[in-house]
Amino acid sequence: MSEAPVVEARSLEKRFGGLVAVDEYDLRLERGDLVGLIGPNGAGKTTAYNLLTGVLKPSAGRISLSGRDMTGAAPYLMARAGLARTFQNIRLFSDLSVVENVMCGGHTRLAASTVATMLQLPSFWRAEERLRQTSQEIVERIGLAELAGQRAGDLSYGDQRRVEIGRALAGQPQVLLLDEPAAGLNPSETRDLVSFIRQMNEESGIAVLVVEHDMHLVMDLCKRIQVLNRGKLIAEGTPEEVQGDAAVIEAYLGAGRKERAHA
Amino acid sequence: MSTSHETPPVKLDARVTLPRSGFVAAILTVLIASAAVFAAQQGLSSYVVTLLALLFINAALAVSLTLTNGLTGLFSLGHPAFMTVGAYVAAILTFPVTRKGTMLPGLPEWLAATQLSILPALLIAGAAGGLLALFVGWAVLRLKGHYLAVATLGLIIVVQGLANNWDGITRGGAGLSGLPRLVDVWWAFGFLVLVVAFTWRLKFSSLGRSMMAVRENELAAQCSGINPARLKILAFVIGAVLAAVGGALLAHLVSVITPKTYSVLLAFNLVVMVVIGGSGSIFGALLAAAAITILSEALRPVEESVGLYGLSQVIVAVCLIIVLRLRPSGLFGSGEPGLVRRLYSGRRDA
């Protein structure tokens, strides 16, 4: 593994016309990092995610993955460079089975070439077998072994979230971006999720960035937290530091009434 | 991947032997079907045998459209355009040299002096269709849904116009008649087997799954490392190659090709076959193609005696409406019926 951080974003900026959605956003994720990105609604968290994953092209700034400059690269190239993500509003391949969803995530890494597939060469059969085996293992890891053959669209909300993570893991990413992974989960599902993320992070060293509204989850899970407000980073530090930060408290609770009256 | 949970080892439900059993089942099916075709050829009138050949080619075309529209989720109506190109290319190549000089004065000398047998002509026709699709797809596949449908509809008109007006090479509106009848029911059958086997294997490969992923959710596919643009072009080109070969086969079966032979109406019929069968279902497309071909042929005498031309089209359209009312995703959805799938892929979760 190279010394360069797995993700390095410098001064990312995104403008939609006159609106600056994200301004001067910096992120540095090392191997094994577990960072939370929080902020009030409309702070630009999802825009920041879309910039990092290549869904949106930044208006300014640079992104590099493991030392390689990827600014402006398409999402599939970002994914191939080791960056995987999940979506706030779950985006599965609903009509495919659970294991097939995971297999799609491993397609670029493990599948045979187009030519080998069309000619059904032995290398195709080997690759297909390996892909199935790896995906089966991941399906077991995310605890859905019994549902492997089920249509993904028919699963419960919590299970669908797991499938998304499984699909992301199949690409063997260096970094995983989770967009509100606990949204819609009940408390016990959330606990399972937290321990799964922590375990994945510790065992495989995958760097994780989490956007989440559940403050308990973020403070409990993350080693470092970034706070975004109106597109700007207003604080970064350990959960304790961030919780005590005046700017953060102001962003979430608003400035005191007195103060505003004087302003 | 480290597996730390107290999970049992991966169950290998006889995965090595089962695909082999699927292969055996496929071979057996082809053998039985061949015997049936042979029996039909011996015992039935040449009209019925030709009809059978027509049915095979139609079914193959429907399955090839399933690959483009069903698996990848494109909405292309362009099949007749590629069929027309394939048919003309093959026809010009197989036409007897002795008649080329008078009928097609516009041909360059080397082409006028060439007369190929059907197989190389089919291959070149397929290549021509594929090249056209590559060229057109590069521009048109940026469009989505209805826009793509309109653009490919336009392609049919463009190709028809070209065939109509390029007199020296296509003989204009009169078309090329008296083509050597080089295609019999066995060619049609072979083509169908090839197309079904190819599409089936593609569907149950990682490449086909990725195509379905693009259909299901393009953004998620892209964020999983799949390049949607490349897969769309690939599916479009493969569909076009098969369509071009199918068009060439059809022309050499009925021994005539005119600019109007493969029209917008055919595009509609093929799309109906795919939609009724279920977008992405190979078995559904086969079944729907067979039913619609037989239906429209069976209704022909009725149409003639009652004077109600177009009756079969009306019935096909009504069938489409009924299926869409009762089963919006088609007879079999995007999958294959369980029994068929187990029989030929030999795997329950495949």
Is residue B299 within 8 A of residue B312, CB to CB? The reply is yes
Min Cα–Cα distance to chain B from A104, Å: 6
Q: How far apart are CA A113 and CA A31, in angstroms?
A: 30
Does residue A1 carry a pLDDT above 90?
no
Give the distance between the most distant pair of CA atoms in chain B.
81
Q: How far apart are CA B142 and CA B74, in angstroms?
A: 11
Share of chain B above pLDDT 70, in %: 93
Share of chain A above pLDDT 70, in %: 95
Question: How many folded domains does chain A comprise?
Answer: 2
Mean pLDDT of A103-127: 91
Residues of chain A positioned with their CB less than 8 A from the CB of B349: 97, 99-100, 148-149
Residues A73 and A180 in one domain: yes
Residues A168 and A179 in one domain: no
CB atoms B225 and A114 under 8 Å: no
Residues A29 and A101 in one domain: no
pLDDT score of B2 = 41
Q: In degrees rounded to 5, what are phi and psi of residue A162?
A: -65, -40
One pLDDT digit (tens) per residue for chain B, 350 residues? 344 444 444 444 444 445 677 888 888 999 999 999 999 989 888 889 999 999 999 999 999 999 999 899 899 999 999 999 999 999 999 988 888 877 887 788 788 778 888 999 999 999 999 999 999 998 888 877 788 889 999 999 999 999 998 887 888 888 888 888 888 899 999 999 999 999 999 999 999 999 999 999 999 999 999 999 999 999 999 999 999 999 999 999 999 999 999 989 899 999 999 999 988 899 999 999 999 999 888 888 888 888 888 888 888 889 889 988 888 888 888 888 878 887 887 554 44
How many other CB atoms sit within 10 Å of the CB of residue A41? 6
Residues A245 and A182 in one domain: yes
Nearest CA in chain A to B217: A93
Min Cα–Cα distance to chain A from B203, Å: 11
CB atoms B201 and A55 under 8 Å: no
Residues A7 and A50 in one domain: yes
- Please choose, from the candidates B246, B231, B204, the residue with its C-alpha nearest in 3D space to the C-alpha of residue B346: B204
Domain residues for A142? Answer: 91-172
Residues of chain B positioned with their CB less than 8 A from the CB of A49: none
Is the Cβ of A76 closer than 8 Å to some Cβ of chain B? yes
Per-residue tokens: A132: 């199935």
Residues A201 and A263 in one domain: yes
Residues A47 and A168 in one domain: no
Among the three residues A149, A172, A195, which one is the final residue of a domain in this structure?
A: A172
Among the three residues A172, A206, A241, which one is the final residue of a domain in this structure?
A: A172
Which one-letter DSSP state was computed for residue B257? E
Residues A186 and A74 in one domain: yes
Q: Within 13 Å and on the Cβ side, how many CA atoms surround B52?
A: 20
Per-residue tokens: A64: 């590099």
- For residue range B297-342, what is the model confidence (pLDDT) as tens digits? 888 888 888 888 888 888 888 988 998 888 888 888 888 887 888 7
Question: Helix B145-165 vs helix B118-140: angle between axes, to the nearest 10 degrees?
Answer: 130
CB atoms A148 and B206 under 8 Å: no
Among the three residues A172, A187, A204, which one is the final residue of a domain in this structure?
A: A172
Mean pLDDT of chain A: 89
Which string of b and e fits B156-186 if b means at least 16 CB within 10 Å?
Answer: beebbebbbeeeebbbeeebbeebeebbebe
Does residue A17 carry a pLDDT above 50?
yes
Give the distance between the most distant pair of CA atoms in chain A.
77
- For residue range A197-221, what is the model confidence (pLDDT) as tens digits? 999 999 889 999 999 888 888 998 9
pLDDT score of A255 = 59
| Phi-psi sector, B280: left (phi>0), alpha (psi -120 to 50), beta | left
Residues A16 and A67 in one domain: yes
**Which residue from A94, A100, A109 is facing B209, i.e. has the nearest CB?**
A100
Per-residue tokens: B197: 């086997």
For the purposes of burial, counting CB atoms within 10 Å of the CB of A181, is it exposed (0-12), middle (13-18) or buried (19 or more)? buried
Min Cα–Cα distance to chain A from B72, Å: 12
Residues A205 and A154 in one domain: no
Per-residue tokens: B58: 């139609």
**Which residue from B3, B202, B206 is facing A107, i.e. has the nearest CB?**
B206
ipTM of predicted complex = 0.88
Residues of chain A positioned with their CB less than 8 A from the CB of B335: 95
Residues of chain A positioned with their CB less than 8 A from the CB of B333: 95
CATH number assigned to the domain comprising residue A64: 3.40.50.300
Q: How far apart are CA B145 and CA B304, in angstroms?
A: 38
Nearest CA in chain A to B12: A133
Min Cα–Cα distance to chain A from B240, Å: 16
Residues A77 and A180 in one domain: yes
pLDDT score of B301 = 85
CB atoms B1 and A134 under 8 Å: yes
CB atoms A95 and B213 under 8 Å: no
Min Cα–Cα distance to chain B from A137, Å: 7
pLDDT score of B189 = 96
Hey, of A86, A101, A103, A107, which one would you mutate to test binding to chain B, going by the most B CBs within 10 A of its CB? A107
Place of tokens 């082409």: B111
Residues A67 and A97 in one domain: no
Q: How far apart are CA A126 and CA A135, in angstroms?
A: 14
